[in-house]
């Protein structure tokens, strides 16, 4: 049995899907959360974190990074669990769904972490109107377009899971926490009601949160 430690901040963020996938797969892990940002900076500067980012999954002394890469590792590690299909075409479909999640959140991530991506000028008071215009476009156009893609995908699914599989895959663990997080991003210009026009997505989130391991995790980590 591998020794695993997941390192992230004490928030859901990009790590929640990983935590839930590990729990669902029955893979024991240490859920390590930084005490504060200073601890993260210290580990970043020490070179312990490849690319200076988290989440990071330490497996028997080796470190894995990038959320989707970690999820693929979990899916393969959990086999013969159905989290990551062995069929290459179906696996590619799962991969595409996760890559689409990255596309959906790219603009929002840049608008939130402006300095990291070279858009620090948007933090200046004189550019506040530009930032607000960008956030409005994300809320009114960009995010709804991507949500519509996933709404259609779920409408075409006979199982209620994104890839149409009988059981959830890592694509569902990637998407569900991230889509759900949109309801709490009003400070970033996103309407808390953004999901109300997508009944398929709301049904998907309810189905996902009803998974016994997910429900148990959420009950134990309710904030």
CA separation for the pair 76, 4 (Å, rounded): 15
In terms of Cβ atoms closer than 10 Å to its own Cβ (0-12, 13-18, 19+), residue 207 is middle
The gap between the terminal CA atoms of the chain, to the nearest Å, is 31
CA separation for the pair 198, 95 (Å, rounded): 23
Please tell me whether residues 56 and 141 are part of one structural domain. Answer: no
What is the per-residue pLDDT across 82-120, written as a single tens digit (0 to 9) for each? 899 999 999 999 999 999 999 999 999 999 999 999 999
Please tell me whether residues 67 and 105 are part of one structural domain. Answer: no
**In which domain, by residue range, is 53 found?**
4-77
Residue that is last in its domain, among 77, 105, 127: 77
CA separation for the pair 193, 187 (Å, rounded): 13
Average pLDDT (148-167) is 97
- Whole-number average pLDDT of the chain: 94
Please tell me whether residues 95 and 44 are part of one structural domain. Answer: no
Please tell me whether residues 99 and 193 are part of one structural domain. Answer: yes
Average pLDDT (14-43) is 94
Please tell me whether residues 66 and 99 are part of one structural domain. Answer: no
What is the per-residue pLDDT across 47-57, written as a single tens digit (0 to 9) for each? 899 899 999 99
Residue that is last in its domain, among 29, 49, 77: 77
In terms of Cβ atoms closer than 10 Å to its own Cβ (0-12, 13-18, 19+), residue 13 is middle
What is the 3 state secondary structure string of 62-128? EEEECHHHHHHHHHHHCCCCCCCCCCHHHHHHHHHHHHHHHHHHHHHHHHHCCHHHCCHHHHCHHHH
CATH number of the domain that residue 177 is part of: 1.20.1050.10
CA separation for the pair 10, 19 (Å, rounded): 12
Q: Say if residue 1's pLDDT is above 70.
A: no
Please tell me whether residues 47 and 121 are part of one structural domain. Answer: no
| pLDDT at position 222 | 77
Average pLDDT (20-41) is 94
Domain-embedded: residue 134? yes
Range in 118-127, 171-180, 199-208 the model is least confident about: 118-127
Q: Are strands 56-59 and 30-33 parallel, antiparallel or unpaired?
A: unpaired
CATH number of the domain that residue 38 is part of: 3.40.30.10
Domain-embedded: residue 124? yes
For residue 30, what are the β-bridge partners?
A: 5
Residue that is last in its domain, among 21, 44, 77: 77
What is the per-residue pLDDT across 165-200, written as a single tens digit (0 to 9) for each? 999 999 999 999 999 999 989 888 999 999 999 999
Number of domains in the chain: 2
The Cβ of residue 62 has, within 10 Å, a number of other Cβ atoms equal to 8
Domain-embedded: residue 222? no
| pLDDT at position 2 | 75
| pLDDT at position 128 | 93
Domain-embedded: residue 192? yes
Please tell me whether residues 204 and 164 are part of one structural domain. Answer: yes
| pLDDT at position 79 | 77
Give the residue among 166, 162, 160, 174 at the shortest CA–CA distance from 21: 174
Please tell me whether residues 132 and 176 are part of one structural domain. Answer: yes
Q: How far is CA 141 from CA 23, 51, 77, 195, in A?
A: 35, 31, 38, 13
Please tell me whether residues 95 and 175 are part of one structural domain. Answer: yes
Please tell me whether residues 113 and 172 are part of one structural domain. Answer: yes
For residue 64, what are the β-bridge partners?
A: 57
Q: Which residue has the higher pLDDT, 19 or 2?
A: 19
Please tell me whether residues 99 and 143 are part of one structural domain. Answer: yes
Domain-embedded: residue 218? no
């Amino acid at each position: 049995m591998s020794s695993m430690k997941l390192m992230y901040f004490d928030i859901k963020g990009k790590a929640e899907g990983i935590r839930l996938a590990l729990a669902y797969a029955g893979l024991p892990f240490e859920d390590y959360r930084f005490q504060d940002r200073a601890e993260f900076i210290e580990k970043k500067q020490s070179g312990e974190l490849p690319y200076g980012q988290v989440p990071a999954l330490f497996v028997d002394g080796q470190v894995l990074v990038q959320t989707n890469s970690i999820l693929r590792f979990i899916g393969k590690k959990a086999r013969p669990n159905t989290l990551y299909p062995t069929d290459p075409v179906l696996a590619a479909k799962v991969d595409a769904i996760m890559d689409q999640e990255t596309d959906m959140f790219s603009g929002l991530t840049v608008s939130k972490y402006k300095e990291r991506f070279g858009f620090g000028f948007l933090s200046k008071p004189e550019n506040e109107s530009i930032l607000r215009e960008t956030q409005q476009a994300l809320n009114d156009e960009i995010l709804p377009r991507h949500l519509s893609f996933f709404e259609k995908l779920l409408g075409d699914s006979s199982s209620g899971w994104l890839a149409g599989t009988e059981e959830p895959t890592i694509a569902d663990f990637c998407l569900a926490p991230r889509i759900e997080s949109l309801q709490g991003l009003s400070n970033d210009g996103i309407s808390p009601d953004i999901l109300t026009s997508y009944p398929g997505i709301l049904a998907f989130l309810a189905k996902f949160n009803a998974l016994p391991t997910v429900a148990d995790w959420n009950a134990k980590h309710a904030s």
